[in-house]
Amino acid sequence: MKHLKGSITALITPFKDGQIDDSAFQTLVERQIDSGVHGLVPVGTTGESATLNDEEHERVIRLCVEAAGGRVPVVAGAGSNNTAYGIAMGQRAQKIGADAILAVTGYYNRPNQAGLIAHFTALHDATELPIIIYNIPARTVVGLSVDTLAELSRLPRVVGVKDATGDLARVALQRHHCVEGFIQLSGEDMTAVGFNAMGGRGCISVVSNVTPALCAEMQNATLEEDFVTARQNQDRLAPLIDALFSDASPAPTKYALALMGLCTEEVRLPLVEASDTAKTKVCAALEELGLLN
């Protein structure tokens, strides 16, 4: 997993009449790879994993692994606030053929730092796949301290973090305290360039569902330390990023993809389709980027 870097798309899960649209999903995967993305994350938060049953969860990972065909890494969402269930999910992802798993901090239960260490250690010891820890306290309430992450980074297969704290100062601190080579990936599209400037290696991105080529170009520029080009790309993407997060994600992203003819805008309750205000912003951003006919 040392090669994990760049633009890694947190894939939506397309639905049609309430069911997973297998064909649309694999078409989206092919579009991503053709556009130069560096990796794929099926069944993460953006993939509405919370409303997929076990069979659907496995099916989406399998569809992604099959469509990717080893061309880019597949990092399967396998997070849970129930450690035993998270282990089972990780083991299923391993059996299906995912390259790594993305595991979120324990939400709702609000474990302390010792509990988080025990949770990720148990997941590590029960699977053979590399693990990317997902730190997003805005959704989970509890977050990993830098010291906790540093301790976890010493486990052989805890190889990186998806950091959605929005705190760029953490990037430098984590680089200092974690083991050498520990992978830091941004979980926030709007600060992705700044994150890499501080020492990150990429972004697990929502906006790349819509603009995979531009996101890949932006990440390639940061990896080459061409931050002038990267910033120009970020400026072009900023209105779209703002629009895609102007309502509960991934509803605005699915609306954008529906306008582009790539899937329906269906989401599962308790999510509902994007508001009219969000739709107006999405339309304007897509038009500005020349993505609407």
**Lowest-pLDDT range, 101-105, 135-139, 183-187?**
135-139
CATH number of the domain that 45 lies in?
Answer: 3.20.20.70
**Lowest-pLDDT range, 78-82, 233-237, 244-248?**
78-82
Note whether residue 136 is domain-resident: yes
**Residue-range definition of the domain harbouring residue 20:** 6-224
- What pLDDT shows up at residue 212? 98
Mean pLDDT, range 160-176, rounded to an integer: 96
Token readout for 82 is 């129930």
Does the structure show a pLDDT above 70 at 2? no
Helix (H, G, I), strand (E, B) or coil at 268: coil
Distances (CA, A) of 89 to 68, 154, 173: 20, 23, 31
Note whether residue 244 is domain-resident: no
Query: What residues contact 240, with CB distance under 8 A and at least 6 apart?
Result: 207, 210, 211, 256, 282, 285, 286, 288, 289
- What pLDDT shows up at residue 141? 86
CB atoms within 10 A of CB 232: 15
Mean pLDDT, range 53-70, rounded to an integer: 98
Closest among 103, 45, 34, 43 to 69, alpha carbons compared? 34
Note whether residue 89 is domain-resident: yes
| Spatial distance between the Cα atoms of 286 and 242, rounded to a whole number of angstroms | 12
Note whether residue 290 is domain-resident: no
Mean pLDDT, range 139-152, rounded to an integer: 94
Note whether residue 239 is domain-resident: no
Q: What percent of the chain has pLDDT over 70?
A: 99
Helix (H, G, I), strand (E, B) or coil at 56: helix
Mean pLDDT, range 139-158, rounded to an integer: 95
Note whether residue 113 is domain-resident: yes
| Spatial distance between the Cα atoms of 267 and 273, rounded to a whole number of angstroms | 6
Catalytic residue among 85, 107, 162, 281: 162
Note whether residue 257 is domain-resident: no
Q: How many residues does the chain have?
A: 293
Exposed / middle / buried, residue 269 (Cβ in 10 Å: 0-12, 13-18, 19+): exposed
Asked whether 116 and 148 are in contact (CB, 8 A), the reply is: yes
Rg over CA atoms, the chain: 18
Catalytic residue among 85, 107, 134, 254: 134
- What pLDDT shows up at residue 293? 74
Number of structural domains (the chain) is 1
85 is catalytic: no
pLDDT in tens, 219-243: 999 999 999 999 999 999 999 999 9
Helix (H, G, I), strand (E, B) or coil at 54: helix
Mean pLDDT, range 244-257, rounded to an integer: 98
Note whether residue 213 is domain-resident: yes
Q: Which amino acid is it at 131?
A: I
pLDDT in tens, 10-57: 999 999 999 999 999 999 999 999 999 999 999 999 999 999 999 999
Task: For the chain, give the mean pLDDT.
Answer: 96
Mean pLDDT, range 133-154, rounded to an integer: 94
5 is catalytic: no
